[in-house]
């Protein structure tokens, strides 16, 4: 990322958009994604990994849903988790994730699906920055719950624009109200230093 730019001006990240446009953005971004987020001071992935440690055993099988270049997988590995698979819809991002050699299995999905996963296959699904404004739509949370093993855990984040939008919390509240999920942990903290932004890290348990 050049000195005269930041994430908010380089890419229109936190607005609703067609999935085709999202794929184009991440294909163009893949080569310098890690460097850009390092410069921006991205910290949510570490906060999700730390929160998961309160509820999840290090050897539990984890799906890193929307793994991107593997930054969230790396944070999970650094936190002591040892059994991680990765899934993303962006082939250029997956190439970067593959080079990290931290995932037991890694594959390309399709928009609007959790491809290659049977219901109950995973006891933990992580979606770091995925179920959020400008990325996956609000109903993605329900799709994750559908695939998660009963009693399993979801680690995810809503950045500040996502919280302000309201639609993502509406789906979350609906799932809790229907008795499908229990909110175990929610804490606001640093998402990015530049542009300054917070995020809520959430841990849910499927009931």
Q: Is residue 47 part of a domain?
A: yes
pLDDT reading at 2 higher than 70: no
> CB burial class (10 A; 0-12, 13-18, 19+) of residue 200?
buried
Q: What is the pTM of this model?
A: 0.90
pLDDT on residue 41: 94
Q: Is residue 2 part of a domain?
A: no
Q: Report the alpha-carbon distance of residue 189 to residue 159 in Å, rounded.
A: 9
Omega of the bond prior to 138 within 30 degrees of 0, cis?
Answer: no
Q: Is residue 95 part of a domain?
A: yes
pLDDT on residue 198: 96
φ and ψ of 7, to 5 deg: -60, -35
Q: Is residue 65 part of a domain?
A: yes
pLDDT tens, residue by residue, 134-162: 889 999 999 999 999 999 999 999 999 99
Q: Is residue 188 part of a domain?
A: yes
Residue range of the domain that includes 13 = 7-110+118-206
pLDDT on residue 14: 66
Across 37-66, average pLDDT: 96
**DSSP labels for 32-81?**
GHHHHHHHHT--HHHHHHHHHTTT--TTS-EEEET-TTTHHHHHHHHTT-
Q: Is residue 61 part of a domain?
A: yes
Across 43-60, average pLDDT: 97
Structure confidence at residue 1 as a pLDDT band (50, 70, 90) = very low
Check the CA dihedral 12-51-46-119 and report its sign: negative
For the chain, what is the domain count? 1
Whole-angstrom distance between the N-terminal and C-terminal Cα of the chain?
A: 43
Q: Is residue 1 part of a domain?
A: no
pLDDT tens, residue by residue, 94-129: 999 999 999 999 999 999 999 999 999 999 999 999
At 37, which CATH number? 3.40.50.150
CB 35 within 8 A of CB 17: no
């Amino acid at each position: 990322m050049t000195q005269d730019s930041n994430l908010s001006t380089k890419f229109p990240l936190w607005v609703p958009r067609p999935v085709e446009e999202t794929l184009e953005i991440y294909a163009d971004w893949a080569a310098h994604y890690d460097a850009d987020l390092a410069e921006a001071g991205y910290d949510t992935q570490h906060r999700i990994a730390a929160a998961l440690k309160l509820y999840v055993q290090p050897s539990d099988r984890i799906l890193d849903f929307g793994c991107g270049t593997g930054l969230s997988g790396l944070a999970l590995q650094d936190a002591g988790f040892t059994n991680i698979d990765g899934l993303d819809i962006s082939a250029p991002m997956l190439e970067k994730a593959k080079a990290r050699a931290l995932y037991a299995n890694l594959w390309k999905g399709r928009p609007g699906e959790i491809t290659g996963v049977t219901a109950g296959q995973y006891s933990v699904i992580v979606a770091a920055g995925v179920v959020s404004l400008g990325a996956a739509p609000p109903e993605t949370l329900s799709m994750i719950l559908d695939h998660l093993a009963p009693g399993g855990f979801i680690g995810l984040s809503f950045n500040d624009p996502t919280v302000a939008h309201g639609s993502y919390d509406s789906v979350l509240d609906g799932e809790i109200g229907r008795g499908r999920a229990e909110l175990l942990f929610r804490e606001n903290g640093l998402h990015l230093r530049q542009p300054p932004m917070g995020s809520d890290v959430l841990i849910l348990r499927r009931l």
